Structure 1
């Protein structure tokens, strides 16, 4: 492979070059003053694959000129310089068509050394920065050869007349030193020498002054000892140019907010003129230091860091950032949560805690908008996962395989600006999505690396220049966007097809009750159909920490105090934006359906029954003989029918509930939709399991009754049929009197955060409910885990399960005990029910099946 030696390019914070100047004219002649200006131009950069720049004929500034590539005295390529350059004037015009990019034909560059010239066709003079030397790779030189080169470097330095020439020499030398220092420290540590002592010994061995400087440096910047990272999942790439204090502060904050995800840090030093060279002396462990041989700019540094990365994911991070707890883990987890994610970015904060950016909007003319800028960080509008046009590259994560496939950050935008926006657009064109993840918070000291003046001569001016390049490339896509400032609340999430207000009593706790599991599953199904869901907890408007964040993490906007104090306030302030309202459970439908119908006549109302409460009370009255419960059932039935008559669409979970309500609700309004239940069977064999279990939330009276009934009436029979079998009672909010039920073969397990290992140890689940209504989450949970279930008729009601093939159904105490004894001892029958239950879950409760039913419901809403 041939290697071209490129000219220096600038990073975001590097001193900026003046505008390109034409090549120097030939020596003056007596007629030089009368001669017409000659064609001229500049070679601005090159790699082993291409060379680029601009060329122009002042006599015809509006006409593109032909540019030639010569290998010595051999013409090998001629192309027109016909790319628009807004930064190169043409006469009285601010820009001109004069840019070029010439491919280097690899098949012609086979000699050990080539001298390549770029010229305007018909001219003998090279453009500025030409010729270029291209040399083939050679075997490594010997140590003596290397030592012989050092006098040549020194003589070239003696002959230098400009600072630029000296920088060309110092860059490679300093880069080599930057790579030697960490290796020296590594070997010293292996020999048992302390890192700081080794650094000072090295410095003092050369001069006292150098030793004093390093001693002062290490005193001001104590060692940042990171854990080792042998197999990083994420590679954090930090491009830097100067500003070492910010780089150190960034790494120190990373150490305080240490991720749980395995990671490495790659600091890419773009020829910094400050203490950055000595970063290896104050870091250890997962931090790797790379120094560019020449200043190449922000994009080049990011791409170099990505090329050296070992992780599956790349996290590009500015050095002028401070990191908060969970910053990396939240980004990484999003890729598992959203398989269609191609890029995930952080919430950026100002040092005072206000928002700098909560995802970006790109308007029709290519100009950007930092959504949420200046807002409070806990504003509900800014705190849920959502798609964004782009996220600023100060903190973004991308799969390395995808980044490599797309060719990294595009050097079309060198040295910096719009490369992150362009990457987001290319990722979307690739069929993936870009997400803003607010649970990853990063403080960004804006303007430290590049300044803030887009009209000046610093790096920030490239924001304007590259904005034009970006617009030209994505003009057709941007035509679908609104003009600057129009409807930002819609533009910030342009992929949303409908907006749904979801009302429940409290924020869902899916690890505690089946109703919450159903709520979250239905939210996610609606999201898969393009809906944005906004959640309101009608009974408690507080933000409940991790419980509320669990919804925000999956893309649900959660409205809470002190921003909103009631459902009524939400309806008054934001009711006009919602297309539909999802009312979960009877109490919310009864309380709010009439209010919503009057205040939001345009919105469709969806009532998810969860279970038919009056039917549950009727059955409880039959079991307990309570006249009071029977009276409550009559009153409740009246209210439930009233709620059913007020809404547009009704959701039930089982066929039995559907048939029960058939005479009360029009067929076109009734939807039978279970919730998504993923199959998660354990591979633990029959022989490795023992005991039976019951799982429930004990704020629900039918579960309390079922446990008491099983211990009191079923266990005596079971002790006779299967001596020694243990009954384990699991679930949340267990009542105190359950301790009276405990025995050597009756164990109170309580709440179990991770059910997978617990279920893998059990042989059977029992669900001996004597009353209740609706689909039973415990039955779904059991079957989906590959744990055969013995259920009462009430527990299996309306689910369409085949007795003896997918579940075992039994009601009286002796029959329940005999069914348990049968499956507990018959491995073949146990295996048959295990496989049958898993097949039922896959067929009935898959993500595809539930989403398809919501698609039908949405079509009905549209038609209505």
Structure 2
């Protein structure tokens, strides 16, 4: 290839261009080096800060150990008894003497010693932010895009946001509302509380909001009241301007109000910007002090993720029924400019018979102290605490004392008995195996007022929608890797009034420990199935001969741990009689509540056979039933009818998947079964070994689908051939019964009617809930 020649006049020009490029690159390299130096400096500062934090944590740990050592001494115990006597007898906070004593201590704290500080000068841990204290805006929003809210709506909720300067905070708050709130009709009311920054020009950057201006700084309490006067919504949502909302927050809070008319106030889960928890509801102690529950913890930890009643929730994000708010006289302005107005409002709502609820699905990022200085805040906190104690003295006497050992009890304001439920996994109805019944049992117990903790002993995975459903019922559900029941029992020693254990292998592991940790608790065992009976039937099918002594030994082995319980819940009369034959007492029969679903389609509109059950492991009763039916019974039916078979249910087994054919459809998991019940003419239960009761048979009967079952299944429910079901004594008889029922409309209609009557008489939800309540009430009388 020929070289390109450079003409004499081009050489100087090329050299000049090259030099300029080199100079430009040098400048870029210098800039990069400068940037790297700055980053190195920043990294060094962060490393130094980390070392300081680690040193601080070490010092705190050492201090905790030192204080623990002091606490264990006889001298400290004597001092503690003296101060308890001083507080309870000599200077109770509800008396004038007590209030004077508190005021003296407050003045000493805030003036003589200065405000409480950590080594890093951080804010006092119990204080929230309020808009009346000046600080620098960390989020300047010069040139930010305009925000346009929906127009022309009839608001269900009026979101009231007081703002005094800090436009950057307010803008980010509004932007998050616009982006994360699309499922509730709302209006935005901004109360400009005498701002001097860009907040004054808010209407030019945010459209379709209502802006109320105050010429002077009124403070948080009066600004909120001013905004409430202009609200059009059924609900008032008071929101700090230094917050950012998350997806679904408002729908969750409003939904709780809509579904429970006894709830008057709902608060949110407040999370610090760095990701740790600020509060999951708040506690009011007997001396008028307050604590945010869970501060500094992981916000996704189980104790912070279930609905509950609380003493109060922070006014940083608080939903209130508008009528209730005005019946209470709005926020009490004795607390102006701020602090204790939220606790005061919540106690007022409780006095009027309403509940104050915490909703964990309303997660709010909160820049605590983003709008205030701590010195002024602490001074106001202590002053307003005096007013709070004076107003609510008689009520506060009923609250717990501010002690670490009382936090667990004080975190949940419900007064029902505390119950620990131990089972295999978090119940998911789609898995079958008795879990649909477990879910209903937990629901009824929660509705009866029990404050429940659920602990999965084998698998801590948070299966959905089961976990969320229980949390919405107000049940604390433990989940995650590394769950340790023994540690849980130790940490909550004497905390539970009732312990309920399900499944024999779980009972074998825990029954011996329960009396040690909960000596006064009622210990119950839920026998959702007598597994030994199932095992005996399985061995028979495999051709393993068992004599009466061997059968008895298998049964006695299962019953051993049950005997340690105060009472046993059984699911069928048949299993109850078997247990009584082995000397067990205090047995209570409670099956599976089911609400009737009146059938819609007529006989001639239905074509298929239907089997419903989960195939989770091999071998199992459902796998055996379906494989045997497909191979030994269904071909006989096909010879006469030519109908199809639908196999519906969670399926993890290849053996079942291989049954798919022109006449057998392996459907798998289905969220809603109604359509399958409606299209099917006959429900089949060819189960050859099982225990408990067939929940899916009850559901099919409750949907008006006549069934053909084995003698085992009929015995479980106390059914006879021709009374609500047909019973196939063997494979040939089973196939013949299916054919007869499929072709005989008169028989089909008669069985449909009897099936609906059977479910109505024996499994009515209200009647079963009443029986459950009476069962637990019987122990209260002892």
Scaled by the length of structure 2, the TM-score of the pair is: 0.71
Q: Of 264, 269, 278, which aligns to 1:356?
A: 278
In the other structure, the counterpart of 1:511 is 430
Number of equivalences? 641
Q: How does 1:359-398 map to 2 (within 5 A)?
A: 359-398=281-320
Contact 1:346 1:440 in 2 (8 A): yes
CA distance in 2, matches of 1:432, 1:752: 39
Q: Within 2, Cα distance between the matches of 1:557 and 1:358?
A: 13
SS at match of 2:253: helix
Indicate if the aligned counterparts of 1:313 and 1:398 stay in contact, CA closer than 8 A: yes
Structure 1 residue 438, shift from structure 2 partner: 2.4
Are 2:268 and 2:358, in contact at CA under 8 Å, matched by a contact in 1? yes
Which residue number in structure 2 is paired with residue 191 of structure 1? none
Counterpart of 1:500 in structure 2 is: 419
- Classify the secondary structure of the residue corresponding to 2:700: helix
- 1:712 corresponds in structure 2 to 631
Following the alignment from structure 1 to structure 2, what is the Cα–Cα distance between the partners of residues 455 and 735?
A: 63
Kept in 2: contact 1:645–1:665 (CA 8 A)? no
Q: CA deviation at 1:249?
A: 1.1
Partner of 1:609: 527
**1:809 Cα deviation from its structure 2 partner:** 4.6
Tell me what 1:15 maps to: none
Which residue of structure 2 lines up, in the alignment, with residue 747 of structure 1?
665
Written as runs of structure 1 = structure 2, the 5 A alignment for 1:539-578 is: 539-541=458-460, 548-560=467-479, 565-578=483-496
Which has the higher mean CA deviation after the structures are superposed, 595-604 or 480-489?
A: 595-604
Kept in 2, the 8 Å contact 1:648–1:861? The answer is no
Task: Determine if the alignment matches structure 1 residue 252 to structure 2 residue 171.
Answer: no
The answer on whether the counterparts of 1:389 and 1:424 sit within 8 Å (CA) in structure 2 is yes
- Partner of 1:221: helix, strand, or coil? coil
1:240 maps to which residue? Answer: 163
Partner deviation per Cα, 1:752-786 (whole Å, 9 max, x = no partner): 13334554554543323222111112123334445
Contact 1:497 1:530 in 2 (8 A): yes
- 1:716 Cα deviation from its structure 2 partner: 3.6
Equivalent in the alignment of 2:685: 767
| Cα distance in 1 between the residues matched to 2:597 and 2:228 | 36
Q: Give 1:587 shift.
A: 0.9
Residue number among 689, 692, 700 corresponding to 2:609 in the alignment: 692
Residue 596 of structure 1 is matched in structure 2 by 514
Aligned partner (choices 407, 414, 432) of residue 354 of structure 2: 432
Assess if the C-alpha contact under 8 Å between 2:155 and 2:186 holds in 1. Answer: yes
Q: More helix per residue: 1 or 2?
A: 2
Q: Unpaired segments of 5 or more residues in structure 1?
A: 1-83, 88-93, 95-216
Task: Name the residue aligned to 1:220.
Answer: 143
Deviation (angstroms), 1:722:
4.3
The alpha-carbon deviation at position 652 of structure 1 amounts to: 0.8
Q: What is the distance in 2 between the residues matched to 1:310 and 1:813?
A: 69
1:270 aligns with 2:192: yes
Contact (CA 8 Å) 1:393, 1:420: kept in 2 or not? yes
CA displacement, residues 807-832 of structure 1 (integer Å, 9 cap, x when unaligned) = 55545456555655666677787676
Report the equivalent of 1:345.
267
| DSSP 3-state at the match of 1:575 | coil
Q: Is the 8 A contact 1:693 1:728 kept in 2?
A: yes
Residue number in structure 2 paired with 1:26: none
Cα gap change, 1:737 to 1:389, in 2 (>3 Å)? same
**Other structure's SS at 1:535 match:** strand
- Alpha carbons of structure 1 residues 293 and 645: separation in structure 2 relative to 1, 3 Å: closer
8 Å contact kept, 1:609–1:650? yes
> What is the CA-CA distance between 1:611 and the residue it aligns to?
0.7
| Range with greater deviation from structure 2 (312-321 or 804-813) | 804-813
Partners of 1:269 and 1:276 within 8 A in 2: no
Aligned residues of 1:618 and 1:630 also touching (Cα < 8 A): no
Structure 1 residues 586, 673: CA separation in 2 closer, same or farther (over 3 Å shift)? same
Structure 1 residues 490, 770: CA separation in 2 closer, same or farther (over 3 Å shift)? same
Shift of the 555–622 alpha-carbon distance from structure 1 to 2, 3 Å rule, reads same
- Partner Cα distance (2:525, 2:316) in 1: 44
Residue 321 (structure 1) shift: 0.8
Cα distance per residue 1:189-237 (max 9 Å; x no partner): xxxxxxxxxxxxxxxxxxxxxxxxxxxx997312446677857665544
Q: Distance in 1 between matches of 2:392 and 2:773?
A: 33
SS in 2 for 1:571: helix
Alignment deviations for residues 237-283 of structure 1 (CA, whole Å, 9 cap, x no partner): 43333322112112333455x25633434132335533335445545
Q: Any idea what SS the aligned residue of 1:431 has? A: coil
Which structure 2 segments of 5+ residues have no match?
1-95, 100-105, 107-139
| Alpha-carbon distance between aligned partners in 1 of 2:240 and 2:489, rounded to the nearest angstrom | 41
Instruction: Provide closer, same or farther for how the CA distance between residues 364 and 601 of structure 1 changes in structure 2, counting only shifts above 3 A.
Output: closer
Structure 2 contact 709–727 (Cα < 8 Å) conserved: yes
Q: Does 1:659 align with 2:581?
A: no
C-alpha distance in 2, partners of 1:356/1:326? Answer: 19
1:606 aligns to what SS in structure 2? strand
Residue 780 (structure 1) aligns with? 698
User: In the superposition, relative to structure 1, how do residues 767 and 316 fare at CA in structure 2: closer, same or farther (>3 Å)?
Assistant: farther
1:290 aligns with 2:211: yes
Q: 377-386 or 642-651, which moves further after superposition?
A: 377-386
Question: Once the 2 structures are TM-superposed, how far is the Cα of residue 433 of structure 1 from its aligned partner?
Answer: 1.9
Aligned partners of 2:275 and 2:182: how far apart in 1? 24
How many Å separate the matches in 2 of 1:430 and 1:679? 38
Counterpart-to-counterpart distance in 2, 1:401 and 1:821: 64
| Native 8 Å contact 1:776 1:796 kept in 2 | no
Residues 541, 566 of structure 1: 8 Å contact kept:
no
What's the CA shift for 1:628?
Answer: 9.3
Q: Deviations over 1:665-721 (max 9, x none)?
A: 443x21112244445557566666553322111136111122223333443454455
- Cα distance between partner residues in 1 of 2:746 and 2:645: 22
CA distance in 2, matches of 1:651, 1:363: 39
Tell me what 2:47 maps to.
Answer: none
Note the C-alpha offset of 1:863: 6.4
User: How much has 1:542 moved relative to structure 2?
Assistant: 5.5
Cα contact 1:618–1:629 (8 A) shared by 2: no
Corresponding residue of 1:67: none
Which residue of structure 1 lines up, in the alignment, with residue 398 of structure 2?
480
Distance 2:190 2:560 in 1: 67
The match for 1:673 is 590
1:287-307 deviations in Å (ceiling 9; x for gaps): 633325766664565456556
Asked whether the equivalents of residues 160 and 238 of structure 2 are also in contact (C-alpha less than 8 Å), the reply is yes
Q: Residues 263, 455 of structure 1: CA spacing in aligned structure 2 closer, same or farther, 3 A cutoff?
A: closer
Is 1:644 paired with 2:566?
no
**Alignment partners' CA distance in 1, 2:367 and 2:198:** 20
Alpha-carbon contact 1:233-1:261 (below 8 Å) kept:
no
Shift of 1:747: 0.8
User: Which residue number in structure 1 is paired with residue 499 of structure 2?
Assistant: 581
Which structure carries more relative contact order (alpha carbon 8 Å, separation 6+)? 2
